[in-house]
Amino acid sequence: MGLSLWLVPNAAQLQLIQGVLPKQPETRPVSAASYPNIIPHITLASSGKATQDTIITALPSPLRPIPVEFRKLEVGDHYFRSVFISVKKTTELVALHEHIMAALERDGASPSAPAFPHMSISYIADEDGDTERKKAADELRAVTVVEGSETGGAGTVVLRCGDSEEGRVWLSGFEGMEVWIVRCEGPVQHWQVLQKMSATSDVA
């Protein structure tokens, strides 16, 4: 796969989302490749040709925080999009994506970003198929994901992320505060984070 550029939540939100991601089920057998530990993110671009320096050069300067809004829980037909939350195409997110893609295209890196924008929450092997992917989505709806009218309107998703001293924690999106360069080669557990770059807010 090569290198990927990820938009990642702030540290607190990252921990909350990771805490509710599906784990390997104990009640039914699945492939060892299913349900690996993953880092919640939105892939801004991937390339088998780009170098780390090329990707850094493709980023806008300064890099600003990007608000992300969840839209819909979906089941896909690809390992890396087995169960995912599609994301609203906000002006800020689309502008960042298009800036990066155009810069990588100019450098001949042939970037891609299938089903942009989305946040995958389960990778499930093809041998476990549509049945397991649907089960994972159904279990999420039963425990973690609240959709539609319950969240205040169609086209919205909220994640139940446990409780705090202030009460129940809900996330309807996240603040994209870091962009990571990740080498995505081999099994997911062998992927390597090469660099983390923090977004900066305007100072009044």
For residue 188, give the CATH number of its domain: 3.90.1140.10
Domain count, the chain: 1
pLDDT higher than 70, residue 148: no
pTM to 2 decimals? 0.91
Asked if residue 170 is part of any domain, the answer here is yes
Burial (CB count <10 Å: 0-12, 13-18, 19+), residue 44? buried
Lowest mean per-residue pLDDT among 94-98, 104-108, 162-166, 179-183: 162-166
Task: Give 73-94 pLDDT, tens digit per residue.
Answer: 999 999 999 999 999 999 999 9
Domain that holds residue 101: 3-198
Q: Please report, in angstroms and rounded to a whole number, the separation of the first and last CA atoms in the chain.
A: 41
Q: Which residues contact 66 (CB under 8 A, 6 or more apart)?
A: 7, 90, 92, 93, 96, 175, 176, 199
Asked if residue 15 is part of any domain, the answer here is yes
Asked if residue 204 is part of any domain, the answer here is no
Asked if residue 18 is part of any domain, the answer here is yes
Asked if residue 203 is part of any domain, the answer here is no
Task: Give 105-144 pLDDT, tens digit per residue.
Answer: 999 999 999 999 999 999 999 999 889 999 999 999 998 9
Mean pLDDT of 13-39: 93
> For residue 111, how many other CB atoms are within 10 A of its CB?
26
